[in-house]
Each structure stands twice: as structure tokens, then as C-alpha cells.
């Protein structure tokens, strides 16, 4: 099979949209990495303040507050990233904006 035919077909189909698609994918990848870093940072910060020990002593049984709060931080950053990644091809200039005009980051 001749790959130049396939290459031309892909270029004709996605040629004008390829930069927007790659930009959105780039935003998603960077946002995922930031979400992982945010989860680790929040977990480390709460671990340093010994939140699990304090809550465990208050309640009377062990609880993993650090894990829950860090997971919420991860999903929040990931949600903002997905919104930005999906908005990027439409806006062209503003990486993370919503239709109401409120800037999310």
C-alpha cells in the first residue's frame, strides 16, 4: 500500500483542524500532569500537618482524610483541564474560558 495516498487523505481530512487537535491534546496531557502533581502536593501537605492522626483520634477509628482531599484536588484540576482542552479549538486564543465569560484559571 502506498503511504502517500494515506498521508494525503489524512492531510485533506484533518489539515485545517490538526493544530487545534494537537493543542487540545497538549492541554490535556499537561493538565493531567498538573493534576498528578497537585494530588501529591496536597497529600504531602496534609501528611505534614498530620490530619489523619488528628481526625483518627477525634473520631476514634482510623480515617484516610489525606487521600480523599487529595483525590478531590486531582479531579478538580482534571475537570478544569478537560474544560480547557475542549474549549481550546473553539476559542482559538483563550486556553481556558467558558461560554459565560468567566475565566477558570
Average pLDDT of the segment spanning 37-43: 96
Q: Residue 96 — very low, low, confident or very high, per pLDDT cuts 50/70/90?
A: very low
Domain ranges of the chain: 29-105
Q: How far apart are CA 70 and CA 76, in angstroms?
A: 10
Average pLDDT of the segment spanning 59-85: 92
Q: How far apart are CA 104 and CA 81, in angstroms?
A: 10
Neighbours of 72 (CB within 10 A): 12
* Higher-confidence position of 89 and 96: 89
**What does the pLDDT read at residue 51?**
87
Alpha helix segments (H runs only) across 15-50: 18-48
pLDDT single digits (tens) 14-30: 777 777 888 888 989 99
**What does the pLDDT read at residue 103?**
47
Amino acid at each position: 500500500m502506498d503511504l502517500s495516498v494515506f498521508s494525503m487523505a489524512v492531510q485533506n481530512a484533518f489539515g485545517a483542524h490538526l493544530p487545534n487537535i494537537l493543542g487540545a491534546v497538549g492541554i490535556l496531557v499537561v493538565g493531567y500532569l498538573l493534576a498528578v502533581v497537585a494530588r501529591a502536593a496536597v497529600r504531602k501537605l496534609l501528611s505534614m500537618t498530620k490530619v489523619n492522626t488528628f481526625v483518627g483520634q477525634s473520631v476514634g477509628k482510623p480515617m484516610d482524610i489525606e487521600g480523599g482531599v487529595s483525590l478531590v484536588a486531582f479531579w478538580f484540576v482534571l475537570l478544569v483541564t478537560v474544560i480547557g482542552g475542549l474549549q481550546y479549538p473553539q476559542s482559538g486564543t483563550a486556553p481556558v474560558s467558558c461560554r459565560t465569560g468567566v475565566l477558570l484559571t
